[in-house]
Structure 1
Amino acid sequence: MKNKIWVFAYGSLIWQNNDINPINSIDAVLVGAHRSFNKKSIMNRGTKEFPGLALGLEYGGECVGKAFQISIDSFKVLKKREGGYNEIKTPNNDIKILDFEENIIEDCIVFFPNTYSKNYLPPSTTLIEKANIIRTGKDGTKSNAKQYLNEIKNFLNEYKIQDDEVEELYKLVFNNIM
């Protein structure tokens, strides 16, 4: 049995990873999926009455992020942290993780939102609807969805990663464009 595993990070896990103690970290691209604010957060970034939104993935496109190699014990911690998300092993017929030299990272886990959850927002949800949820969400145990969106945008900008949905949501939420 392996004692290390690769995981792909596309959101806050990239910079909030002290709890999983990465052994190795590389820049990576998820081919076959893209970031999407598609999961209502009723605890960490909002409340049941006033949910926020958390970042997830949808199939199609690409997503630049990081691949972390972690211990099996750290993976158990990560699974608890990513409750409500499904573990998808790559590569598979739909997605793969590549390093920046376009080598496939074998046996890498990616966390996708559970599309059967009542907190999942389908791809038909408009950016305006998402912006309204983010704006009206209250503080959760970690922060609120506005702070989280700002954090995500700042990270992406810092690493020169272009993400159109994040940029557009940021404009809608912080510039009150509706």
Structure 2
Amino acid sequence: MSKISFWVFGYGSIIWQNEDIKPIDIVDAELVGAHRSFNKKSTVNRGTKKFPGLALGLEYGGKCFGKAFQVNEESFKILKRREGGYNQIKTPNDKIKISDIKGNIIEDCIVFFPNTSGKNYLNPNTTLQEKADIIRAGGQGTKSNAKEYLKEIKGFLNEYGIEDEEIEILYTLVFNNIM
């Protein structure tokens, strides 16, 4: 087992699907300077090429609650493969920082941001209604579909008493808005 370890911030499925990375430590954490956004088309894990779903990413501005995971070098390599299509941003930096629940800054923590020049990055001007339509129309991916993924994200947030406005609106549009 490698002696080198890395901190990684999780804001989506890594929070509850982390058996493959075997975390050394997990702490409640807050990312300041970015917020969750369904901004990446998923053509494998949460949808198909013909019927893409949406996956969670981040956009600059705001903040979000999640978990910080300490992992060894081997697990970090697994995580990098798993998060293909995302850029690794090291914190703290001039735009974002991550702290534990006591307010201590977690140094050298990696955050995965979507590649904004990638073909699957969703135009930032995409409305929440358009995102909801994509989520509803998405096919069954290798892990689930985007509707189930949205339910899981909302469930996690509810468990921790976190209200995320975009997630709440998307959930309402996807599950309560029959169009």
Which residue number in structure 2 is paired with residue 135 of structure 1?
A: 136
User: Root-mean-square deviation (CA), in Å?
Assistant: 1.2
| Contact preservation (8 Å) 1:134, 1:146 | yes
Once the two structures are TM-superposed, the CA of residue 177 in structure 1 deviates from its matched residue by 5.7
Which residue number in structure 1 is paired with residue 120 of structure 2?
A: 119
- Aligned partner letter, 1:110: V
* Stretches (4+) displaced over 2 A: none
Structure 2 counterpart SS, 1:55: strand
Structure 2 counterpart SS, 1:152: helix
Does 2:31 match 1:30? Answer: yes
Which residue number in structure 2 is paired with residue 171 of structure 1?
A: 172
User: What runs of 5+ residues in structure 2 fail to find an aligned partner?
Assistant: none
Which residue number in structure 1 is paired with residue 81 of structure 2?
A: 80
Structure 2: distance between partners of 1:58 and 1:67: 18
1:128-161 deviation line (CA, Å, top 9, x unaligned): 0000000001101111100100111111101111
Structure 1: distance between partners of 2:113 and 2:8: 12
TM-score between the two structures when normalised by the length of structure 2: 0.97
Structure 2: distance between partners of 1:123 and 1:158: 28
Q: Give the percent of matched residue pairs that are identical in Structure 1 and Structure 2.
A: 73
- Cα separation, partners in 2 of 1:2 and 1:122, compared to 1, 3 Å: farther
Structure 2: distance between partners of 1:91 and 1:141: 34
- Aligned partner letter, 1:118: K
Once the two structures are TM-superposed, the CA of residue 100 in structure 1 deviates from its matched residue by 1.1
1:54-95 deviation line (CA, Å, top 9, x unaligned): 000000000100001010110000000000100000001110
Structure 2 counterpart SS, 1:62: strand
| Contact preservation (8 Å) 1:7, 1:110 | yes
More deviation, 46-55/116-125: 116-125
Structure 2: distance between partners of 1:132 and 1:169: 10
Once the two structures are TM-superposed, the CA of residue 122 in structure 1 deviates from its matched residue by 2.5
Once the two structures are TM-superposed, the CA of residue 176 in structure 1 deviates from its matched residue by 1.5
| Aligned residue-pair number | 178
Which residue number in structure 1 is paired with residue 4 of structure 2?
A: 3
Structure 1 counterpart SS, 2:66: strand
- Aligned partner letter, 1:10: Y
1:91-150 deviation line (CA, Å, top 9, x unaligned): 011100011111110000000000001110122110000000000011011111001001
- Aligned partner letter, 1:158: E
